[in-house]
Chains A and B, each alone.
Chain A
Amino acid sequence: MKKSLFLLFLLVSLLFIVVACSDQESAGETGKGSSDEEVNAEENANESADKEITIAIDQNFVTLDPHNAGDTVSIYGIRSMYEGLVGFDEEMNVVPVLAEDYQVSDDALEYTFQLKEGVTFHDGEPFNAEAVKANFKRIIDDDSLRAHRNVQYIDTVEVLGDYEIKFTLNQPFSAMLNKFAMIPLASPKALDDESKDLGLNPVGTGPFKFEEWNQGDSLVVSKYEGYYENDKTNVEQVTFKPVPENGARAAMLQTGEADFVYPVPQQNAGDFEDVEGVEVTETPSTIARYVSINTFNEPFNDVKVRQAMNYAVDKNAYLQVVKNGFGNPLDSTMSSQTQYYSQQDTYDFDLEKAKELMAEAGYKDGFEAEIWGNTSSETVTGMEFIKQQLSQIGIDVKIQSMEEGTLSDEIYTPATPEEAKVQMWYVSWSPSSGDADGATRSLFSSEYLPPEGANTAYYDNSEVTDWINEANETSDAAEQEEIYKNIQSTVYEEAPWIFLASDVILSGSKTNLEGVYVLPDGSVSIANAKLK
């Protein structure tokens, strides 16, 4: 009996030791800097404590390699430390950043940039045309990098002077400037240094420099004192903290653990109305929400049926029921925040007209159909709403909610339109760099039917396909705008989708924090962060 008691005691003490050790280790991990830095950090702690902010976000960072990030969270984590030749302003217009100015040749094949002088990377290396070239060389040579896709049309990179560089394309590409904005530039020294993984040791030119990244947990960046516009921010340190659970993330704004929270879940937006010192901001996004209709098969190959479906769905009711009242009806094939957006006359809810169109198409008594979507609760609510609305014109919709992987397989693997089983798909789209090409080509060009692309409506209009290619071949912005206007009105009219809504993004901020905002593409910008 004594033996057993002793063993129990031993076991319990072992557990305590393990717990204690793990505490110590996690404490040890957070202080990775050298001991000198730690001493300095402690001395400064009192001064700078009120100049530090925490931003709670919904997902983990995947990588910090500036040329290999594909997810929004990694992209804006990287943008906090890096800059490109051009970048996006608050409305997602392309503006010069490290470039002083740029010119595009008339044939849309040559892009010449004049660079800012006096810019240094965080490691002290000077920023110049050679540094830019080194970055593009890496991306062009290594086709496993995600940014490689952005440079696929670049033929040559030519250094014209210390601060001038020219890119020549092998074919015109209307979204090229947006793609330049998606390429952050790293220090050439860091690119060459093979002993350090660039994805773990970022070195850029941005207003904030890398401090530490606990993978799967927080990313910490601190003010770069050598930044060329030193008054851009007065924040000393920014911590990005991934908090996947919606309720917990919203709570952090209430407890003061976070200064900025994104996204604020729609159902929590009301919680902050009476909370002093906190405000919730709505940002229109580039996210378009719709139901894509497989136009290849009967009865959906009849444009009248598709228009009837659009008239039968009440978009305002949709916003109330599914989106808690947040968002705007989708009044084009892309959101109002996308390049060359042109507003269309919406299909206002009109049951009479819908029934008329159904009768004209020969489906007076309706038909049976299937709608697919993923398993998220919002998607399921959305699909139920569509089912209920379409039942008003006799369409009996069966809901198929599938796990994301299964869904992706079912939709993207059929080799020909004949094999595709999808009828309706409840989904959303957001162009990765806010450009009209990204919001059009893979969705509506007949060259991009699955499995080649994401034209899951199997929309096939040779005029539209030609326009999409034409828009690329000109450098004249007015001409491009005109072409995209035609594309939008034609596609909207032919209704390969049920056009539902464009999302708004909700973020919460302490009122004493300014200049941190969310861009329409869902990325958080901290470059202008100011604490009052």
Chain B
Amino acid sequence: MWQYIIKRILGLIPLLLVISFVIFMFIHLIPGDPARLMAGKDATLEEVEEVRQSLGLHEPFVKQYISYMGNLLQGDLGYSIKSGAPVVDLILDRVMPTLGLTFLSIIWALVIGILIGVLSAVFRDKWPDRLGMLTAVSGISLPNFWLGLVLIQLFSVQLGLFPTGGDDAGWKSYILPSFALGAGIMAMIARFTRSSLVNTLKQEFIRTGRAKGLSGTSIVFGHALKNSLIPVVTVAGLQFGFLLGGSVVVETVFSFPGLGRLLIDSIQFRDYPVIQAEILFFSLQFILVNLLVDILYSYLNPKIRYD
């Protein structure tokens, strides 16, 4: 097992190298001249050129990449074109709020999603099932920015329970954004739990359990649920990566000072070093989460072994 994990982690290195090159290439291929954006619309050509020189953007592409990677390996992600601050600082400042938000989203998406899924499976084709699946379909269909705005209107403006945004009201600031962010995954988890549990409940070992005289609750929670969790773990894991993408939108709606908003700000300004570092960071996170999911499998289902 350990051998497998180490092998996977080593495998990350070439993968990240490839990713970094692709990101670097794409960002420099998209149109838009950061030197001009930085110099301002009333700048003369001379001023634009001065800015370009000072940013090192006049160097050939390959040379820029090599010096970028050289610095990266020393832990130096460069400086923001926009504010001049070290990129590492910018990202470190924003990591914790975003991680907090995504974790909170996935936690309640798991708790509520599994609960809805179990109820729907147990009361299959009765009203709790219909209600649960209606919630699930809504959760998937509603765009999160829209949900965010409705939540602000309802819970902040009308009821005054939570702040409209920011992160300075402690845990209260996390409630609405995490809800808006997690709704889609909650819905997906509910559907996967339901279908998986419905299948499991049909299997023979459940019938044996019933024959033994076990109560309904202990059959569902003690035996069936655990055996239905594998697809749920997969979905939750994969979706975690997408949550980071969703955070871009939700953080903007809730003016939440996280990585997503930083990315939007940076893209608008063609702030290459920050965009590169953020996408690299997102990719790394995605890969690590996938690795974690693979490892979790083997615990949930001992039949799966990695050699």
Residues of A within 8 A of B (CB): 1, 3-5, 7, 12, 15-16, 18-19, 21-23, 25-27, 30, 60, 62-63, 70, 143-144, 146, 149, 199, 214-218, 241-245, 247-249, 251-252, 254-255, 257, 403-406, 408-409, 412-413, 429, 431-432, 438, 442, 448, 451-454
Contact = CB atoms under 8 A, between A and B. Distances in A.
Contacts of A243: 164-166, 255
B277 to A, nearest CB: 14
Interface string B254-288: 11010001101100101000000000000000000
Contacts of A404: 32, 268
Given A7-B296, A255-B156, A25 B85 contact: no
Contacts of A146: 40
A63 B84 contact: yes
B96 A22 contact: yes
A144 B94 CA distance: 28
Interface string B157-168: 100100111111
A242 B152 contact: no
Nearest to B226: A1
B99 A26 contact: no
8 contacts: A19-B104, A21-B96, A25-B96, A144-B54, A216-B90, A216-B261, A257-B163, A412-B36
Given A242-B255, A251-B156, A406-B32, A12 B107 contact: yes
Interface string B75-98: 000000011110000100110110
Contact of B93 (A70, A215, A452): A215
Which of A30, A143, A243, A442 has its CB near the most chain B CB atoms (within 10 A)? Answer: A243
Nearest to B150: A247
A75 B48 CA distance: 21
Contacts of B300: 4
Given A4-B300, A251-B157, A257-B163, 8 more contacts: A18-B100, A18-B103, A19-B174, A22-B96, A26-B96, A27-B170, A62-B83, A248-B254
Interface of B: 30-33, 36-38, 40-45, 47-48, 50, 54, 82-85, 90, 93-94, 96-97, 99-100, 103-104, 106-107, 149, 152-153, 156-157, 160, 163-168, 170-171, 174, 226, 252-255, 257, 261-262, 264-265, 268, 270, 296, 299-300
Given A26-B168, A406-B31, A245 B255 contact: yes
Contacts of B174: 19, 23
B36 A408 contact: yes
Nearest to B98: A22
A255 B261 CA distance: 23
A15 B107 contact: yes
A18 B99 contact: yes
B255 A409 contact: no
Nearest to B169: A257
Contact of B100 (A23, A245, A432, A453): A23
A22 B100 contact: yes
A244 B296 contact: no
A363 to B, nearest CB: 32
A483 B33 CA distance: 36
B257 A214 contact: yes
A465 to B, nearest CB: 15
Contacts of A412: 33, 36
Given A22-B99, A245-B254, A251 B42 contact: no
Nearest to B100: A22
5 interchain residue pairs of minimum CB distance: A405-B32, A22-B100, A22-B96, A243-B255, A406-B31
B68 to A, nearest CB: 20
A242 B254 CA distance: 11
Contacts of B45: 451-453
Contacts of A218: 166, 168
A217 B257 CA distance: 6
Given A216-B261, A248-B253, A30 B33 contact: no
Contacts of A16: 107
B44 A217 contact: no
A453 B47 CA distance: 11
B164 A251 contact: yes
A218 to B, nearest CB: 7
Given A405-B32, A442-B42, A23 B83 contact: no
B37 A408 contact: yes
Contacts of A242: 255
A199 B103 CA distance: 34
Given A218-B168, A248-B165, A4 B94 contact: no
Contacts of B50: 143-144
Contact of B40 (A3, A18, A70): A70
A15 B104 CA distance: 8
B94 to A, nearest CB: 7
Contacts of A429: 41
A19 B103 contact: yes
A405 B94 CA distance: 26
A412 B41 CA distance: 10
Contacts of A247: 149, 152-153, 253
B168 A244 contact: no
Given A216-B90, A405-B33, A15 B253 contact: no
Given A216-B265, A408-B37, A251 B100 contact: no
Nearest to B50: A143
A255 B152 CA distance: 10
B205 to A, nearest CB: 13
B247 to A, nearest CB: 13
A254 B157 CA distance: 6
A529 to B, nearest CB: 21
B32 A409 contact: yes
Contacts of A216: 90, 93-94, 257, 261-262, 265
B226 to A, nearest CB: 7
Contacts of A448: 44
Nearest to A200: B85
A255 B158 CA distance: 8
Contacts of A257: 163-164
B91 to A, nearest CB: 11
B45 to A, nearest CB: 5
Given A255-B156, A405-B31, A408-B33, A215 B82 contact: no
Contact of B164 (A143, A244, A255): A255
A248 B255 contact: yes
Contacts of B163: 255, 257
Contacts of B97: 22, 26
Nearest to B49: A451
B42 A4 contact: no
A217 B166 contact: yes
Nearest to B301: A4
B295 to A, nearest CB: 9
B268 to A, nearest CB: 8
Nearest to A18: B103
A21 to B, nearest CB: 7
Contacts of B171: 23
A303 B108 CA distance: 65
B160 A255 contact: yes
Contacts of B261: 216, 244
B292 to A, nearest CB: 9
